[in-house]
A = this chain, B = another copy of it.
Amino acid sequence: MAKERLAIVGGDAAGMSAASSARRRDPDLEIVAFERGPYTSYSACGIPYFVGGLVEDADRLISRSPDEHRANGIDVRTRCDVVAIDLGARRLTVRSAAGEEAQEPFDQLVVATGAEAVPPPIPGAEAIEPAQTVDAAQRLRAALERGGRTGRNAVVIGAGYIGLEMAEALVDRGLNVTMIEMAAQVMATLDADMAEHAQDAAEGHGVRVVLGAAVEEIVLDEAGAPVAVRTAEDRFEADHVVIGTGSKPAVKLAEAAGLRVGDSGALRVDDRQRCPGHDGVFAAGDCTESHHRVLGSDVNIQLGTHANKQGRIAGINATGGDDRFPGVIGTAVSKIFRYEIGRTGIGEREAQQAGIEVVSATIKDRTRAGYYPGAGPIWVKLVAAPDSGRLLGGQIVGVEGAAKRIDVLATAVWAGLPVHELALLDLSYAPPFSGVYDPLLIAARATAKLL
């Protein structure tokens, strides 16, 4: 009998996690991974730090190179574009960098095609390469190091967490940065009251934040380089333009092959990362849906942490294992200038949109005992079910030491703890880490009072 063959489409976190876990479980399996770009297993989350110069060398962002994967017995084909999947014949059509097409058979398949940037539909946007991959980030950084016409002005379009992280990177490079956001607040994943603190942090470091403004054009010079960004009311000079208007799951290839796409726009999978109706076909990472345990619906959340877990599970199940992905609760964290920002579960706005009735309280406190050096502000907002008091979500903004507390709330949301129980939970205390009542306990008590 010929060897079984596992093919993987996409060589980043989800795909290579699948390849690696399959390799560990089955040393005889033939494993081939096709990646469009030159790199595998890189940290897209690290790109802003490379652009800003906090991370000097792009290689640091690569957790495992193609050659390292090859040494592990995984046949990695970089610069190879999978252009078609034939689920019936169980083969891929793959186009090499030289433009040659070949047929590649598979027994099991993992689709890990990730996400693709959604540029704003305006003139000039086509000239701006999204800095989503390591090679694109290298080109952006080279451009920043060369400078532009004046070398001093940058515009970031979109004020989500990636836009904000990129704004910080550009400030770190000494540029004057303007952020333009269509919505009335930065960071749409936060409630407006909490997002204001993130905006304060950006403005406090000199970023000009323009809200409620739709970009109409990226003005280019004859060479196709950016000159300015134009909204209905303003024009902002821009030697450099960074687009951070989000990404959508890259599902065209899989959809054309007949895999189902859910309401979120991402591939449907069950809790074993299987594509329903297609034996031996799995999907994982940014291109897939995940079950949201609080909302009770399927969502698309593009995060490396999910991609790694789902990829591993796909690899386990593709090799005869039986592992399940338990779903997500929307936990995320980022560092935005002087503040750390975390969120988990649902916020007030999401609750309203989902028709879930909630109570909510926000408190302001200090990250350390008041007398301990380095204490700074922390805001904690909790959202709970009005009947049971069950914690449904939390948002945290504050100075160093604030954000990782979101994991405590994530654990409480996950376990279904009510806020009145959280208010008396045995959390740690010492002056370098909190006041005698941790801010989370204070927030839980404030919320419990509303029940």
In the complex, how many residues of chain A place their beta carbon closer than 8 angstroms to a beta carbon of chain B? 65
Question: What CA separation (Å) do A186 and B372 show in the bound complex?
Answer: 25
Question: What CA separation (Å) do A308 and B411 show in the bound complex?
Answer: 24
In the complex, the answer to whether B55 meets A372 with C-beta atoms within 8 Å is: yes
- Say yes or no for A236: interface residue by CB 8 A criterion: no
Question: What CA separation (Å) do A406 and B43 show in the bound complex?
Answer: 26
> How far in angstroms is the closest Cβ of chain B from A360?
20
In the complex, the answer to whether A43 meets B415 with C-beta atoms within 8 Å is: no
CB < 8 Å neighbour of A304 from B54, B306, B373, B436? B436
CB interface residues, A 423-441, toward B, < 8 Å: 424-434, 436-438, 440
Q: Point out the residues of chain B lying under 8 angstroms from A163, CB to CB.
A: none
In the complex, the answer to whether A333 meets B430 with C-beta atoms within 8 Å is: yes
In the complex, the answer to whether B303 meets A429 with C-beta atoms within 8 Å is: yes
Q: Point out the residues of chain B lying under 8 angstroms from A429, CB to CB.
A: 45, 303-305, 332-333
CB interface residues, A 399-431, toward B, < 8 Å: 401, 403-408, 410-412, 414-417, 421, 424-431
- Say yes or no for A334: interface residue by CB 8 A criterion: yes
Q: Point out the residues of chain B lying under 8 angstroms from A416, CB to CB.
A: 415
Name the segment of A104-112, A141-149, A255-263, A322-330 touching the other chain: A322-330
- Say yes or no for A320: interface residue by CB 8 A criterion: no
The answer to whether residues A412 and B410 also contact, given A60-B371, A372-B55 and a CB cut-off of 8 A, is no
CB < 8 Å neighbour of A411 from B60, B328, B415, B433? B415
- Say yes or no for A344: interface residue by CB 8 A criterion: yes
Question: What CA separation (Å) do A372 and B52 show in the bound complex?
Answer: 12
Question: What CA separation (Å) do A282 and B229 show in the bound complex?
Answer: 69
> How far in angstroms is the closest Cβ of chain B from A45?
5
Question: What CA separation (Å) do A305 and B435 show in the bound complex?
Answer: 9
Question: What CA separation (Å) do A412 and B429 show in the bound complex?
Answer: 17
Closest residue of B by beta carbon distance from A50: B371
The answer to whether residues A432 and B328 also contact, given A410-B425, A415-B412 and a CB cut-off of 8 A, is no
Q: Point out the residues of chain B lying under 8 angstroms from A411, CB to CB.
A: 408, 411-412, 415, 417, 425, 427
Q: Point out the residues of chain B lying under 8 angstroms from A43, CB to CB.
A: 369, 371, 431, 436
- Say yes or no for A265: interface residue by CB 8 A criterion: no
- Say yes or no for A317: interface residue by CB 8 A criterion: no
- Say yes or no for A252: interface residue by CB 8 A criterion: no
In the complex, the answer to whether A430 meets B335 with C-beta atoms within 8 Å is: yes
In the complex, the answer to whether A407 meets B405 with C-beta atoms within 8 Å is: yes
- Say yes or no for A370: interface residue by CB 8 A criterion: yes
Closest residue of B by beta carbon distance from A416: B415
Contact pattern, A 379-404, Cβ under 8 Å of B = 1, otherwise 0: 00000000000000000000001011
Q: Point out the residues of chain B lying under 8 angstroms from A406, CB to CB.
A: 428
In the complex, the answer to whether B46 meets A372 with C-beta atoms within 8 Å is: yes
Q: Point out the residues of chain B lying under 8 angstroms from A305, CB to CB.
A: 426-429, 436-438
The answer to whether residues A335 and B428 also contact, given A55-B372, A371-B55, A371-B61 and a CB cut-off of 8 A, is no
Q: Which of A45, A325, A370, A436 counts the most B-chain CB atoms under 10 A from its CB? A: A436
Q: Identify the 7 closest CB pairs spanning chains A and B, nearest first.
A: A415-B415, A333-B428, A60-B371, A305-B429, A411-B411, A335-B432, A331-B426
Q: List 21 A-B contacts (CB under 8 A).
A: A43-B431, A45-B429, A45-B430, A46-B369, A305-B428, A305-B429, A308-B436, A308-B437, A326-B424, A330-B426, A331-B426, A335-B430, A340-B432, A401-B404, A407-B438, A410-B427, A411-B412, A411-B415, A411-B425, A411-B427, A414-B426
A55-B372, A60-B371, A335-B430 given; 11 more Cβ-contact pairs under 8 Å: A43-B369, A43-B371, A49-B372, A55-B371, A60-B370, A304-B436, A325-B424, A326-B421, A333-B433, A340-B432, A406-B428
